[in-house]
Structure formats: C-alpha cells, structure tokens
Amino acid sequence: MNPKVALVGPGRVGCAVSKRLYEAGYPLTAIISRSRERATDACSYIGCSTTLASTQLTDSATAEIILLAVTDDQIQRLAVQIQATNQFSKPTTLIHFSGLHPAEIMFHQSSPQALLSLHPLLPFANRQKAYMNLQGCPCALESDDPKALVLGEKLVGAIGGHSFTIDHDKKPLYHSAACIASNYLVTLFASACKLLISCGIEPDQTAPLLLPLVQASVENIKDLGPEQGLTGPIVRGDIGTVTEHLQTLQDNAPELLQPYLQMGIMTVEISTNSGRLDPKTALAMKDLFTTKIKELSSNK
C-alpha cells in the first residue's frame, strides 16, 4: 500500500504532481487551499473525490506525505504551523518544491518530521501542461535524511520523472542555473520580438518568425552541445557584423546594448573553447565589447 498524501497549495505544481501521484496509486487524504472553491476545483482536476477539499491545515494530519506546494515565501511558515498543530498518528514526510530553499527550512523542534525538497526542473506555466511535461522530467532531490531521499526517488518515479540529488548549500546556484536557462530564455525571446516590431513586422508575426530559429538552436544544443551548436557572427569571427549590431542597438534599442555586450563576451569564450574562433580574432572581439562597456559606463 502506498503512503497517504495530503496536498497543501493546489496551484500549478501541486495539482500536476498530485494528479500524477493519484493516478500512480497514491491515496489522497486532503486537498487544502485557503479557498474551498479552489480546493474543490483541484479535486475535480486531479480526479479524486471533492469531499477531500478542505480549508483546514489540520486535515493533513492523517497523511504520511504532506506536499507543501505553496509559494517559496510561505513554505517555512506553513511547515511550522502544520507541525505545531497536527497530532501526527504516523511518521510523516514533509515535501516542498522550491528549487532554492533547502528541505531544512521546514524544520520544527516540537515535532520533527522527515523533510525533503523535490524540485521538478520544468517551467509550470499551467497545471495541465505541467502534468504532461512531468513525463521524463528531471527532478532534484535534497534532504539530510537518507530515508526521505529513498522515498523521493520512489515519488519521482511515480510522477514519471527521473531524480538526481543536489547538496543543500548548492541550491541557490542550482536554481540560478534553472532561472537563466528557462526564464531568461523567455526574456531574450521577448526582446528579439520587440526588435522585429521595430523593423515594421506585425506583433503577431514575431513569434512565428523567431520560433523556428529558437527551436533549431535548441536542437543544435541537444545534438552537438553548446560549443559546436553555436552559430552566428561571433563564432565566425565577423567583427564588422558585430560592430554594426552595436551601432544599431545603440540607436534603436539602447536597453539591449549592455546585455548584448555581456552575452557577447561569454559567447567569445564559448567560441574559443569550440576551437572555431582563432585567439587573435577572439581577442579583438573581446576588446570591442569591453571598450564599448567602458565607454558606456564613463558616459553615465
């Protein structure tokens, strides 16, 4: 018999993970929200009985696993509240889903339970997309408790993912990596769309025009790795083209000049490591970027 699960915070992550666990045979004991409507809606989405909908944290007491799928800033407060008020009948594992915080953030002296952090390395834009994408998703596990890690591996398997472990003190760095790869990719894409609009292209045409480029670039990374997958003027050593970019950005989108320069320096490094940019041109390219950065900061 699988352990019983209660969900606190039926948002995107909570609903997607709970639906997967429920379908994998984990009994649910409560779906807890601050709003009865949201809890009931989550039950309907997950496919469990709407009688499990609750607004009381104490309804998590009979569960052996409590999923604290709340916003990062609420994890500690709610974990403390649950452990201070619940009369646990069995040993319980508290799980949060933050990529940043350690599992230990949920520790409470009066009623220490097993603590685990389980971070699906996935952008949860909405619960249904997340539910689908959990299949094959890498999930970071972190805990000081070996038994909690073993349970985490089982749960990750049940939701369709594959697990790896991360040390608690490396989580901020790990989460920065996730943010850069996912969130900043979106920001860069939106910035490129804005530039196309400045070229006179209709806003609703920008994404269809740029998406094949993005998708092909992602495919190149997947097939060849970043170094050999890199294309464009920097790795080709086309200093003239890059110089024109700097001028046109300064004239038309000055807010993108600094990011372009900083990313340019990092791209020179990848190009050099790829063995496709000769050291002399790399130095000249880097010089172009650093001189411009100095010029901009002295103009402030």
- Binding residues for ligand NAP (CB under 6 A): 9-14, 33-35, 38, 69-72, 74, 78, 97-99, 119-120, 122-124
Minimum distance between the CB of residue 226 and ligand NAP, rounded to whole angstroms? 23
Structure tokens at 279: 């050291």
Minimum distance between the CB of residue 258 and ligand NAP, rounded to whole angstroms? 27
Minimum distance between the CB of residue 217 and ligand NAP, rounded to whole angstroms? 22
Residue nearest to ligand NAP (CB): 11
- d(CA 286, CA 279) in angstroms, rounded, equals 10
Q: 272 by DSSP, 3-state: which? A: helix
- The gap from C-alpha 9 to its chain's centroid, in whole angstroms, comes to 18
- d(CA 26, CA 103) in angstroms, rounded, equals 22
Return the number of the residue (98 or 163) whose C-beta is nearest ligand NAP.
98
Sign of the alpha-carbon torsion through 147, 148, 153, 157: positive
Minimum distance between the CB of residue 40 and ligand NAP, rounded to whole angstroms? 11
Question: Using alpha carbons only, what angle is made at residue 19 by residues 103 and 83, rounded to the nearest 5 degrees?
Answer: 35
| Buried b / exposed e along 229-243 (16+ C-beta atoms within 10 A) | bbeebbbebeeeebe
Minimum distance between the CB of residue 289 and ligand NAP, rounded to whole angstroms? 33
Q: Which of 229, 265, 272 is nearest to 246 (CA)?
A: 265
Return the number of the residue (56 or 215) whose C-beta is nearest ligand NAP.
56
Return the number of the residue (72 or 227) whose C-beta is nearest ligand NAP.
72
Return the number of the residue (47 or 203) whose C-beta is nearest ligand NAP.
47
Return the number of the residue (123 or 160) whose C-beta is nearest ligand NAP.
123
Return the number of the residue (72 or 238) whose C-beta is nearest ligand NAP.
72
Contacts (Cβ under 8 Å, ≥6 apart) of 128:
16
Minimum distance between the CB of residue 10 and ligand NAP, rounded to whole angstroms? 5
User: In the sheet that 28-32 helps form, which strands lie side by side, from edge to edge?
Assistant: 53-54, 28-32, 5-8, 65-68, 93-96, 114-120, 138-142, 162-165
